[in-house]
Chains A and B, each alone.
Chain A
Amino acid sequence: MVATESAGRYLEAQRRFAANGGASAPGWLQELRATAIARFEALGFPTTRQEAWRFTSVAAIAETPFALSEGPAAPLPALADLEPFLLGDAAPHRLVFVNGRFSPALSRVEGFPAGVRVESLGAALRREPELVRRHLGSVAGFDDHSFRALNTAFLADGAFVHVPPRVALTEPVQILFVTVPGASPAATHPRSLIVADREASAAIVETYAGLGEGVYWTNAVTEIVLGDGARVDYHRVQRETEQGYHVASTQCHQGRDSRLTVHPVAFGGALARHDLLVALDGAGAYGVLNGLYLLRGRQHVDHHTVIDHRQPHCESHEYFNGVLDGTSRSVFTGRIVVRPGAQRTDSKQTNNNLLLSADAHADSQPQLEIYADDVKCTHGSTTGPLDERQLFYLKSRGLDAGDARRLLTYGFAAEIIGRMEVAPLRERLDRIVRERVWGG
């Protein structure tokens, strides 16, 4: 079987990794990796026969012989090459990873309040393994997820942000994972761990990007842990190249009265799949998922979201807008679970897909599982071309048909971008959307 054969490649690679580069890790991490690769071996790559993967075939990933990335190619990209993916002086703190490995030369992390950790996961594992151990893998389980299992099996580097109790980071922290593809296909398994302790707050901008020609695969996992009363604004921008494959999980755990906003934006990738979990695991928690995908050509982008109301009095809002051109395809799954006892849950979900081409296709499936009786849950989904009534309204104000269409298309994306917390990121995304919509 193809699936077994392709999975075997990773088992072999993991054995080599565990014996060489991975051998310096703490014992508990080596054990975690061993468990994870065993789990991956048992699961194999998912197939479209599985409900969660019904609309997205990962055969192209399974069948491409991706080697484990050897780290940055020499020479490193210059900071100027990364400028399109960074926010400049407006966001001075950044952790930059090239082909999965931390690059101190391209990063800048200094001047944080005492006790704050913003560093590579590799460094944190060396310096404070117990702090990392407490949280790593606590949210991103891999029992039922091949790709998280694979990421964990190769876990070596990534970003680590830890904000101690009652400390507020006033400026956003940027995390950039950039791939410079080599001559043969390679994979990276970046890992981010973001922990905001009790009443701490932080804004994060995590970006995944590709630079140059070549096939590559990013298999990322980000874990976000919010203590009671913590606040995190997490922005995630996926700008892989047209030849890039992107599979990712963002797994979030929210404590009591915490507030989390997650802003996933997907522009790139030949094939991209993003699983998001927001677990509202303390009474009074507030979670927002505010996502955007802008697709063209033959792109296929799948967002699989779960908002898990585990405790009472939590509120969640989920907005996903998609704009699809060419023969692109999107999948949105919005699962909302309200557990027994999660009374007074208030949850709203919308997914709107704008089809700019007759050959584009969007699948949208809300899934509500409600096991409590005193809850408010609403969901709505639209898919179609631009609204004729809106077009006429704009034309009646003097805009020609093309300008009317462009303005409405822009508005579709701007609605999501407008909710983001980090101003320089909003401006950057706004510019990207304008370039897409108006050309230039």
Chain B
Amino acid sequence: MSVAPMLEIRDLHVAINGTEILRGVDLTMDRGTVHAIMGPNGSGKSTLAQVLAGHPAYEVTAGTVRYEGQDLLDMAPEERARAGVFLAFQYPVEVRGITNSYFLRSAVNAIRKHKGQPELDALDFLEVLEEKLKAIGWDDSFLNRPVNEGFSGGEKKRNEILQLAVLEPRLAILDETDSGLDIDALKTVAAAVNTLRSPARAFLVVTHYQRLLDHITPDFVHVLADGRMVRSGGPELAHELEAKGYDWLRDGAVVS
């Protein structure tokens, strides 16, 4: 048994096009926990999510990220995915001509192949898929549509969660999964996420608003502002932010 935390970020500095976005981020997450990262627009929340997934546009200028004891920053995006890191994108891209089910099977088989497991054929995979859909309470209506093509905002976000359910990551990062969702869609997505919580899986939930956290109750809430964590606390911190906004944290009230 490894004693290393699931995720350990130390003094992470990240720049894009020469502009520093993250300026010394620290975060430690254990298995089975749900951490929320909140913060105003431009605070670096999404940058953190993208960097953890390995987006090539971001440059890590200092600091370390260890995932289950491994150097995450040294891994290619696909290696991170195969090791169990998953990012639910804020803006999922369209992939023309590829159906959702075909795409998911390609992803599952890429991971299985990497683990030395036999690949699943279309029929075997359909069984897995049906089971996952049932578990999160969704129908199969968008399995045969091209990936995200012509999907509404809500459908795209749901699709990200479906991928999460099928790929079974150990660290799931949700990047503003609530943005663009109406309240019903938000509840649907949150309910699915809750069914996917488990002692073996950690969630990093990045959000601007507290409303998602009404439905996915975090164990910890962190506030990111100007590229640094300015406050950490329990779920009550989210409510405090909802009531007071972000400004009171930025006016020098930095808490280590």
Q: Is A395 an interface residue, CB under 8 A from the partner? A: yes
Q: Is A389 an interface residue, CB under 8 A from the partner? A: yes
Q: How many residues from B make CB contacts under 8 Å with A?
A: 29
Please report which residues of chain A, range 381-440, place their CB below 8 angstroms from some CB of chain B when the two chains form the complex: 387-390, 392-401, 403-404, 407-408, 410-416, 418
Q: Which of B26-34, B106-114, B204-212, B234-242 contacts A (4 or more CB under 8 A)?
A: B106-114
Q: Chain A residues near B114 (CB, 8 Å)? A: 398
A392 with B146: CB separation less than 8 A: no
B78 with A390: CB separation less than 8 A: no
Q: Is B101 an interface residue, CB under 8 A from the partner? A: no
Q: Chain A residues near B86 (CB, 8 Å)? A: 396
Please report which residues of chain B, range 135-185, place their CB below 8 angstroms from some CB of chain A when the two chains form the complex: 146, 163, 167
Cα–Cα distance between A220 and B82 once the two chains are bound (Å): 52
Q: Chain B residues near A413 (CB, 8 Å)? A: 97
- Count A-B pairs with CB separation below 8 Å: 78
Known: A393-B93, A396-B53, A398-B78. A415 touches B146 (CB 8 A): yes
B167 with A397: CB separation less than 8 A: yes
Q: Chain A residues near B80 (CB, 8 Å)? A: 396
Chain A minimum-CB-distance residue to B111:
A398
Cα–Cα distance between A395 and B114 once the two chains are bound (Å): 13
B93 with A415: CB separation less than 8 A: no
B163 with A408: CB separation less than 8 A: no
Q: Chain B residues near A404 (CB, 8 Å)? A: 78
B97 with A392: CB separation less than 8 A: no
Q: Chain A residues near B111 (CB, 8 Å)? A: 398
Known: A403-B110, A415-B146. A395 touches B97 (CB 8 A): no
- Select the residue from B56, B76, B97, B106 with max chain A CB neighbours within 10 A: B97
Q: How many whole Å from A51's CB to the nearest CB in chain B? A: 32
A400 with B96: CB separation less than 8 A: no
B97 with A418: CB separation less than 8 A: yes
Cα–Cα distance between A387 and B54 once the two chains are bound (Å): 17
Q: Chain A residues near B93 (CB, 8 Å)? A: 387, 389-390, 393
Q: How many residues from A make CB contacts under 8 Å with B?
A: 26
Cα–Cα distance between A412 and B95 once the two chains are bound (Å): 9
A393 with B89: CB separation less than 8 A: yes
Please report which residues of chain B, range 71-112, place their CB below 8 angstroms from some CB of chain A when the two chains form the complex: 76-78, 80-82, 86-87, 89, 92-93, 95-98, 103, 106-108, 110-111
Known: A393-B92, A395-B77. A412 touches B110 (CB 8 A): no
A398 with B82: CB separation less than 8 A: yes
A396 with B87: CB separation less than 8 A: yes
Question: Out of B77, B92, B97, which one reaches A411, CB within 8 Å?
Answer: B97
Q: How many whole Å from A426's CB to the nearest CB in chain B? A: 12
Known: A392-B55, A392-B77, A415-B146. A398 touches B97 (CB 8 A): no
Q: Chain A residues near B55 (CB, 8 Å)? A: 392
- Select the residue from B78, B82, B89 with max chain A CB neighbours within 10 A: B78
Q: Chain A residues near B146 (CB, 8 Å)? A: 411, 415
Cα–Cα distance between A168 and B114 once the two chains are bound (Å): 51
Q: Chain B residues near A397 (CB, 8 Å)? A: 81, 103, 107, 110, 163, 167
Q: Which B residues fall within an 8 A CB radius of A?
A: 53-56, 76-78, 80-82, 86-87, 89, 92-93, 95-98, 103, 106-108, 110-111, 114, 146, 163, 167
Q: Which A residues fall within an 8 A CB radius of B?
A: 387-390, 392-401, 403-404, 407-408, 410-416, 418
For the complex with contacts A396-B87, A407-B98, A414-B98, 20 further pairs of A-B residues with Cβ separation under 8 Å are A390-B95, A392-B56, A393-B89, A394-B95, A395-B54, A395-B78, A396-B54, A396-B77, A396-B78, A396-B86, A396-B89, A398-B78, A398-B108, A399-B78, A399-B107, A410-B98, A413-B97, A414-B97, A415-B96, A415-B97
